[in-house]
Amino acid sequence: MNISTLTDVRLELIAAARYFYQQGWMVGTAGNLSIRLSDGSFWITASGKSKGELAIDDFVRVYPDGRVEQPTEDSKPSAETAIHQVIYNLFPEAISCYHVHSVEANLVSRFVNGDALPLPPLEMLKGLGVWEEKPDCVMPIFANHLQVQQIATEIKTRFSNTPPQLPALLIRDHGVTVWAASSTAARNYIELVEYIFRYMVAARRVFGEV
Ligand SMILES: CSCCC(=O)C(=O)COP(=O)(O)O
Ligand SMILES: [Zn+2]
């Protein structure tokens, strides 16, 4: 057994959350991160924890049958656990699901009225798996219902009929969610989508509405 197999995967989530917090993408208690284990259960951030200073007990374990293992009585699963569950059910290859709130994600979610955000054909899309000459890509947008289960249901219905072009979705006036085959890839995906959002906001300032 090498040393990496002994590492608690929650440490990766703690490090990623601290990094996202430093970027201003997980301010206060905003956002939630999860990682799936080989038995199909996943660790997810407990609800309402300061994401810049997570500790090993600030996670709950959610099993495929919905059972929840809490380290302490006051640790509740993230309010957005239903979204992570639906992503893991839809995408068997997904090992990590990360959700952050940035100012730019909220701004670009208002660039269109419809349910799909056209993305500029940037080289960065290759990092998200889009290897095309001038990619014609959209990011799905979902309404930010107060009942998170409703958001999760709409994600399930839409993606079951129309798989997304990218491993990412945007919730309007809320934030972005990505999923990936490893926690490292999920962290990269967050950085890439946030770069694209920053570009879109800057491009609007420079070129106006295009
Ligand atoms: C101030 S963030 C409001 C809730 C939210 O959108 C979020 O991402 C954090 O919720 P959690 O229950 O995972 O702490
Ligand atoms: Zn959120």
Those residues whose C-beta lies under 8 Å from the C-beta of residue 23, and which sit 6 or more positions away, are 102, 194
Q: What separation in Å is there between the alpha carbon of 111 and the centre of ligand 1?
A: 23
Alpha-carbon dihedral 169, 58, 52, 143, rounded to 10 degrees: 20
pLDDT digits (tens, 9 = 90+) for 55-84: 999 999 999 999 999 999 989 999 999 999
Position 154, amino acid: E
Residue 1 in domain: no
pLDDT of residue 5: 54
Among all ligands shown, which has an atom nearest to the Cα of 54? 1
Distance CA 73, CA 94 (A): 29
Report whether residue 104 contacts ligand 1, using a CB cutoff of 6 Å: no
Distance CA 113, CA 95 (A): 32
Q: What's the chain's length in residues? A: 210
Domain that holds residue 119: 6-207
Distance CA 23, CA 8 (A): 24
Read off the pTM: 0.96
Residue 174 assigned to a binding site: no
Distance CA 190, CA 62 (A): 23
Rg (CA), the chain: 17
Q: Whose CA is closest to atom 13 on ligand 1?
A: 78
The CATH number covering residue 54 comes to 3.40.225.10
Residue 57 in domain: yes
Rounded to the nearest integer, the mean pLDDT of the chain is: 96
Those residues whose C-beta lies under 8 Å from the C-beta of residue 39, and which sit 6 or more positions away, are 63
Report whether residue 77 contacts ligand 1, using a CB cutoff of 6 Å: no
- ipTM, interface predicted TM-score of the complex: 0.99
Of 150, 158, 160, give the one whose Cα is nearest residue 89. Answer: 160
Q: Which residues are registered as beta bridge partners of 36?
A: 42
pLDDT of residue 74: 87
Position 145, amino acid: H
Region 124-153: mean pLDDT is: 98
Region 101-125: mean pLDDT is: 98
Report whether residue 81 contacts ligand 1, using a CB cutoff of 6 Å: no
Q: Which residues are registered as beta bridge partners of 60?
A: 44
Q: Whose CA is closest to atom 8 on ligand 1?
A: 31
pLDDT of residue 210: 65
Domain count, the chain: 1
The proportion of the chain whose per-residue pLDDT surpasses 90, expressed as a percent, equals 94
Q: What separation in Å is there between the alpha carbon of 4 and the centre of ligand 1?
A: 30
Residue 151 in domain: yes
Instruction: Tell me 72's DSSP state.
Output: S
Q: What separation in Å is there between the alpha carbon of 80 and the centre of ligand 2?
A: 7
Distance CA 195, CA 199 (A): 6
Q: What separation in Å is there between the alpha carbon of 187 and the centre of ligand 2?
A: 16
Q: Is the pLDDT of residue 17 over 80?
A: yes
Q: Whose CA is closest to atom 1 on ligand 1?
A: 30
Residue 87 in domain: yes
Residue 145 assigned to a binding site: no
pLDDT of residue 209: 79
Report whether residue 34 contacts ligand 1, using a CB cutoff of 6 Å: no
Q: Is the pLDDT of residue 1 over 90?
A: no
Distances (CA, A) of 207 to 117, 122, 165: 18, 16, 26
pLDDT digits (tens, 9 = 90+) for 158-185: 999 999 999 999 999 999 999 999 999 9
Distances (CA, A) of 210 to 112, 187, 193: 12, 29, 19
Q: Encoding tokens for residue 65?
A: 């049958």
110 within 8 A of 204, measured Cβ to Cβ: no
**Nearest atom within ligand 1 for CA of residue 101:** 8
pLDDT, greater one: 94 or 1: 94
Q: Whose CA is closest to atom 2 on ligand 1?
A: 30
